[in-house]
Amino acid sequence: MSEFDEIRPYNDSEVVPTLQRLLEDKEFLDTVAKLGLPKAGKYIAPLVRGLIRSRLQKETASIQTVADLQAKIEFYLGREINRTITHLSISGLDNFDRAKASLFVSNHRDIVMDPALVNWSLYKNGFTTLRIAIGDNLLTKPFASDLMRLNKSFIVNRSATAPREKLKAAKLLSKYIHHSVLTDNENVWIAQREGRAKDGIDVSNQAIISMFALSKPKTQPFEEFIREARIVPVTLSYEYDPCDTAKAKEIYQKETEGTYKKGEHEDVKSIAIGITGFKGCVHVHFGEPLTQNFENAEQVKLHLDKEIIANYVLHPSNCIAYEMLEKRSPKVLVGEKQIAFDTADWQAERKIFTDRIATCDPQRLNTLLKGYANPVYRKLSLTANAE
């Protein structure tokens, strides 16, 4: 028994028994059926359960290890990337030592695709795959936990409510992350914040930085511990957000009614839309490891925020949204090649964007536009502060 058993990913010896358990899980099979047949009624899923089980048995028959499973996932993920991403560009892979594991901290826009794209970028360039942090709020069903832990995910306990329970869970998580990077030499991914940045403003949660330090020996200086953790900021820049209208709806409802109640299985739907929805161009940038003499968690948080927005690659969609709100063009650089934005050069992209937002409820249009424009505002603010 390990002290991390309740949160760690599954190991090779657990792969086959877990897959067998999933193939007997009626709720899992019905969920797969509903995802494959979204317009089918709730009575259809049980009728095709046997067919789904047979298909999955064939698909998983050769899977014996975590690596086998990830090779299978790579095939399907690659297909979705080719289908939903116009161009995936990657930069900064030379900024850190590939022989040593790192703690990758990224902005958070999509539940599954954020860690998937970071993982893909590393794996396709000869790095080992990530251990991925995932909140237990997304694992409300046993089969969901099984699926994620098979794919090298470890569990972040967000359901604890009592202060003592929350502290205990945070200490265990901190210790596990530290152990993964320094002892197991395993790369780790965690989002800079709890929950997606639905408004397009990428800001770190300082509590996450404080959590990292909970496993710090009392005698070790804070700055030394942070350097030892090998934290690498990662910026994900999506041209289009498949969940943009849903995010705008939630933000608008919170602003006008004070609250928003998620629908049943809403997170599952967001995951499915995020994976299968069109994203346009996507850029993944890996920053330099944090080696400065940080005195506290606040300094680390501010540095991460600055690095993530500084390395954010703006797309025409961001600038067009800014223009629609401000009635003027932003003086910024766009795209992988970082060329000056000139509205006359992007008429085809403007039509794609305006066609895309045409279905948005007019009351929520400004909210949606702000989600795309906020990275521009933050870039301009960063530039102004640097002058």
pLDDT digits (tens, 9 = 90+) for 281-306: 999 999 999 999 999 999 999 999 99
Per the listing, tokens 């794919």 go with 151
Whether residue 136 is predicted with pLDDT greater than 70 in this model: the reply is yes
Query: What is the mean pLDDT of the segment spanning 148-153?
Result: 97
Q: What's the confidence (pLDDT) of residue 1?
A: 59
Q: What are phi and psi of 85, to 5 degrees?
A: -120, 120
| Cα–Cα dist 337/236, whole Å | 16
* 296, two tokens: 């506290």
Helix axes 365-386, 316-326, angle to 10 degrees: 100
| Cα–Cα dist 274/109, whole Å | 9
Q: Residue 45's pLDDT band (boundaries 50, 70, 90)?
A: low
Whether residue 180 is predicted with pLDDT greater than 70 in this model: the reply is yes
| Cα–Cα dist 59/76, whole Å | 12
Q: What are phi and psi of 124, to 5 degrees?
A: -70, -10
pLDDT digits (tens, 9 = 90+) for 62-97: 999 999 999 999 999 999 999 999 999 999 999 999
Q: What's the confidence (pLDDT) of residue 289?
A: 98
Q: Which residues make beta-bridge pairs with 238?
A: 282
pLDDT digits (tens, 9 = 90+) for 310-354: 999 999 999 999 999 999 999 999 999 999 999 888 999 999 999
Q: What's the confidence (pLDDT) of residue 216?
A: 96
Query: What is the mean pLDDT of the segment spanning 143-149?
Result: 94
Query: What is the mean pLDDT of the segment spanning 32-60?
Result: 76
Q: Residue 224's pLDDT band (boundaries 50, 70, 90)?
A: very high
pLDDT digits (tens, 9 = 90+) for 11-42: 999 999 999 999 999 988 888 877 665 555 56
Measured distance between the N- and C-terminal CA atoms of the chain, rounded to whole angstroms: 56
61: helix, strand or coil: coil
**Do residues 320 and 349 lie in contact, with contact meaning Cβ atoms separated by under 8 Å?**
yes
**Do residues 290 and 209 lie in contact, with contact meaning Cβ atoms separated by under 8 Å?**
no
| Cα–Cα dist 321/202, whole Å | 17
pLDDT digits (tens, 9 = 90+) for 238-284: 999 999 999 999 999 999 999 999 887 788 889 889 999 999 999 99
| Cα–Cα dist 119/188, whole Å | 10
Q: What's the confidence (pLDDT) of residue 138?
A: 87
139: helix, strand or coil: coil
| Better-predicted residue by pLDDT, 382 or 48 | 382
Q: How many Cβ atoms are within 10 Å of 180's Cβ, its own excluded?
A: 21
The architecture (CATH level 2) of 12-310 comes to 3-Layer(aba) Sandwich (3.40)
Closest CA to 262 of 94, 147, 111, 64: 111
| Cα–Cα dist 39/147, whole Å | 24
Domain spans in the chain, listed from the N-terminal domain onward: 12-310, 316-386
71: helix, strand or coil: helix
Q: Residue 2's pLDDT band (boundaries 50, 70, 90)?
A: confident
Q: What's the confidence (pLDDT) of residue 263?
A: 83
Closest CA to 6 of 211, 149, 213, 215: 149
Residue 98 CA to chain centroid, in angstroms?
A: 22
Q: What's the confidence (pLDDT) of residue 49?
A: 85
**Percent over 90 (pLDDT), the chain:** 85
* 178, two tokens: 């530290």
Give long-range contacts, CB 8 A cutoff, 24+ apart: 328-335.
330/376, 330/379, 330/380, 331/380, 332/376, 332/379, 332/380, 335/281
Give long-range contacts, CB 8 A cutoff, 24+ apart: 350-354.
350/316, 350/320, 353/316, 353/317, 353/320, 353/321, 354/320
